[in-house]
Structure 1
Amino acid sequence: MEKLQFQLDSNSPSATKKSVICGVVGSGNLEILVSKTENQYQCVIEVNTSAVGFEKVWHAVLNEFSQRYAVGGYKFQLNDMGATPAVVSLRLSQAVVMLQGERNE
């Protein structure tokens, strides 16, 4: 297992204050736990992965994500079991949609 942590700038802070869980840890998949943090213009992303040696790939995927979405003020905990970069991007987008859906309640 490899543990990585990234603090990435986000274009703007998130408007919601909810937490979510999406995905499941399983073969070729990942789970994402999302909670609030104090810094409104940065997101913290922690990655626990079974795929060792891919820090540059993780950074590229996660940096693109933090620039595309308003995720400032959030901590994302990713528990990965070998998901491809495309699956990681899809699951992160799903987490954002879940957060936005919570805002409407």
Structure 2
Amino acid sequence: METLHFTFSGGDKAVRDARLVGVVSSGNLEILIEHAPLAGACDIEIHTAAHGFGTIWEAVMADFHARWRLADTRIAVNDMGATPAVVSLRMDQAAEMAMGATT
């Protein structure tokens, strides 16, 4: 397993609820998103079975932060080889649910 850590600032939206989205299985991932007092930052920690893809993860997470601009949010990702498209989909799903947009 490889562990990656990204912190983004400049967000202006807060999540309301902690949510767990997805299932860790072959080719998929799970995401836990929750409110945390992080001085306005969005902190993302990724545990992945796919080594050597840090620059791709960084690009996907930067794109996610640009779309959602989350602040005071902690996100934990457990990955078993999901594609960037699946990662983006699950991240958006987690953000929507945590902000109360869907149930």
TM superposition score normalised by structure 2: 0.90
Corresponding residue for 1:48? Answer: 47
Q: Percent identical across equivalent pairs? A: 42
SS in 2 for 1:101: coil
SS in 2 for 1:47: strand
Displacement after TM superposition at 1:39 (Å): 2.5
Structure 2 counterpart of 1:18, one-letter code: D
Corresponding residue for 1:81? Answer: 80
2-structure distance, mates of 1:86, 1:9:
24
SS in 1 for 2:27: coil
Corresponding residue for 1:30? Answer: 29
SS in 1 for 2:100: helix
- The answer to whether structure 1 residue 70 and structure 2 residue 63 are counterparts is no
Aligned length: 103
Please, which runs of 5 or more residues in structure 2 have no aligned partner? none
Corresponding residue for 1:21? Answer: 20
Measured against aligned partners, the alpha-carbon deviations of 1:72-105 in whole angstroms (never above 9, x if no partner) come to: 1111100000000000000000001111227x89
2-structure distance, mates of 1:79, 1:20:
14
Please, which runs of 5 or more residues in structure 1 have no aligned partner? none
Structure 2 counterpart of 1:69, one-letter code: W
Displacement after TM superposition at 1:38 (Å): 1.2
Measured against aligned partners, the alpha-carbon deviations of 1:38-85 in whole angstroms (never above 9, x if no partner) come to: 135320000000000011000000011011103111111000000000
* Preserved CA contact (<8 Å) 2:2 2:51: yes
* Preserved CA contact (<8 Å) 1:21 1:32: yes
2-structure distance, mates of 1:98, 1:62:
18
RMSD: 1.8
* Preserved CA contact (<8 Å) 1:10 1:66: no
